[in-house]
Amino acid sequence: MEIGLLWLANQARAVDPWGRYAGYVEEILQHAGLPYRRIGPEPERLATQVDLCFAIVIPANLHLPDDVKEALSRFVAGGKVLIGLGGPSGLEAVFGCRDRGPLREAWVGSWDTSVLPMLAGMSGPLHAFGGRWLEPVDFSVEVLASWLDGDRWCQAEGWQKAEVGPAVTLRRVGRGWAVLIGADVAAAVVRIQQGRPVYVDGIPPADGSAPVDDGILKTDDGIVLDYERDRQPIADTYFFGCPVADEWRELLIRFLLWAARATNSYLPMLWYWPRPLAAVGLLSHDTDLNEPDKADLLLENLKKLGIPSTWCVVYPGGYSPGFYRQLDRDGYEIALHYDARTQLGQRFWDEHHLRLQLCWLRDMIDEQQPIVSNKNHYLRWEGLTEFFHWLERAGIRCDQTKGPSKKGNTGFPFGGAHPWFPMDEHTAERIDVLEINLMTQDLVLTCPAEIGRACVDQAIKHYGVAHFLFHPAHVEKPGIPQAMADVVTYGREQGIEWWTSSAIQSWERTRRQTQLQFTRHDSAVGWVAKTSWHVPEATFVLFDPTLPWGEAETLQRKSGSVAERVSVYGFPAVVRSGEVAPDLPFVLV
């Protein structure tokens, strides 16, 4: 049986303005590799589709017709799981909670694992954008987490007496369960990832650790996470140590895995990486100043480490054509480092200048390999999602610009280790440019070395990408080569493979061509993976409800070993890897 996603045929059915992001729940499920089907909300479609689902997700707080409410009530009472996001959608009698009105911004506090132990891996407090205040109206409602009022936080005492009602609840309904998440998960993920529009300098934290008000418009001027409430201390500074957007994604995934187990349903997941890997790493190098001797030294250091990396080349260059050819021969990626910082000649914030610089780089390297990646010089940014459209029209498939420029906003200022596709703020359509968030620049020089290991640990915990920038311009400075070697070595010890930006975006697009299909023949049911592309090392995680809870190896690989029995998101599962091709489906169960 599958996951059902109640599909919004008309965005106007959302109660709140945040509901325009509801379609991003589908993007969350696609990236997670979970099989789902769109259902309803028209009653005639809903009636024929609910029998194929073990869980249904309501993606936002919706105005639902009475007959749809009745169908969903019967669905959950019959032994299935209903998950509501962003509010009760008029189903107060099912969720057992009254809608107390909209919230713009709040935090979800610690998790009550006594009811659902699978929440033990979640972090908190988690910053939310959009949702509803809730009030239980039935004694059977279990409160799994509560809202925290940001106005009741202070530096000295933290979140003392800040709880203001339930944020996540669970209720038994007949033979099934109703889960209500008061936060608008899709809105939180999109808002944290994309930030706020950048037209003026951002407001820096009071401690002076991130002076973003420097007169240069850049991505970290648009951070929506809170410098006071969302950072954690490390060494001699603070950093965004929790990938909050990834945590919101994970909350939905964990409830779906729990729903499969609660309904005795097998659920496969197309894993994020091949073979299987827990996470991957990315080193990028912005060629500011274009100094050949320093580029040679950095390349020598990289060869000693034996890893590929991505070189983001800035106009007007300075390296010889032979150096670019050597990079290409040795497996390094050549990407664009779009310069709108210099503001001279063809280096302004202008789509035409982006294309001119891209054409220059293509002519410079004179290779068949296309330029597919970009990072903006000084992380320059203006507006909200307009630049993603520039890249899309120019044929750039992947960007690395979302990240920190200051010591005090390193880590996960845009909420995630997972690569993500942006959503157009006006049309709510996906923009076909994969963003790979940057975590730090030049460890030791701009921030403590400890942040490197912390970011690797979080990337592994959330199965994402650990992305670090090391400039050739700093390669001779004390501690920089060792810091790069240390973070690469530490990542390897934890099972990370180091890839290029091009390889990451290519894998993400390739794996998404694989479809997990539920099959039924007489009384036998199963799952099969089919694809329109060749996927040589596809990995599948099968969540089997008969597997006992208990100790199991994680997907973290050490000494080259791969465990068949694994624990993923805290749930027991079996992992299988193999080749999938158009004429070679992969039978899972």
Each residue's pLDDT tens digit, 75-120: 999 999 999 999 999 999 999 999 999 999 999 998 999 999 999 9
Tell me the average pLDDT of the chain.
93
φ, ψ (nearest 5 deg) of residue 518? -80, 130
Q: How far apart are CA 93 and CA 129, in angstroms?
A: 25
What is the pLDDT at residue 174? 97
What is the pLDDT at residue 556? 56
Q: In residues, how long is the chain?
A: 589
Domain boundaries, the chain: 2-189+245-266, 280-509, 513-587
- 274, 539 contact by CB (below 8 A): yes
543-553: buried (b, 16+ CB within 10 Å) or exposed (e) per residue?
bbeebeeeebe
Within the chain, which residues score under 70 in pLDDT?
8-13, 367, 521-524, 551-563
Q: How far apart are CA 84 and CA 82, in angstroms?
A: 7
Pairing of strands 81-85, 97-108: unpaired
> Which residue shows structure tokens 């969540």?
543
Q: What is the DSSP string of 555-578?
A: S---TT---SEEEETTEEEEEEEE
Q: How far apart are CA 583 and CA 274, in angstroms?
A: 20
280-509 CATH fold: TIM Barrel (3.20.20)
What is the pLDDT at residue 518? 85
φ, ψ (nearest 5 deg) of residue 410? -75, 175
Inter-CA distances, 586 with 151, 185, 390, Å: 53, 32, 38
2-189+245-266 CATH fold: Rossmann fold (3.40.50)
What is the pLDDT at residue 563? 47
Inter-CA distances, 24 with 263, 291, 331, 388, Å: 26, 43, 35, 17
Sign of CA dihedral 460, 405, 154, 199: negative
Q: How far apart are CA 359 and CA 352, in angstroms?
A: 11
φ, ψ (nearest 5 deg) of residue 462? -105, 5
Q: Do domains 2-189+245-266 and 280-509 have the same CATH topology?
A: no
